Amino acid sequence: MPFPLVSIVLNQTYQNIELIIINDGSSDNTLQVALQYESDKVLVRSQTNRGQCAACNYGVSLAKGEYIKFFDADDILAPDTLAAQVSLLNGSKTK
């Protein structure tokens, strides 16, 4: 079971990213699949099932970046989504 969103995020035109995947106590092979993506840009951590809010808070506590964007496994993005959002957050306009 691959994670399409991981590839979508890693293939964004904006590359100054860290992707943090929190496994919130899944009982299937989600953690094993997620660990296959671990790299210098992808951090995978696991916790006992504590719910979405706790998983998000755990991810935020690990984040090193200036901005945080939350994703769910079924989200999709255009390749330039993060670049456009960072540009807007930095106060410049994109074409």
pLDDT at res. 92? 64
pLDDT at res. 3? 82
Provide the residue type at 11 as one letter.
N
Provide the residue type at 42 as one letter.
V
Closest-CA residue to 61 (of 49, 77, 75, 43): 43
Q: Note the pLDDT tens digit of each residue in 39-90.
A: 999 999 999 999 999 999 999 999 999 999 999 888 999 999 999 999 999 9
pLDDT at 95 over 60: no
pLDDT at res. 66? 92
pLDDT at res. 1? 55
pLDDT at res. 74? 87
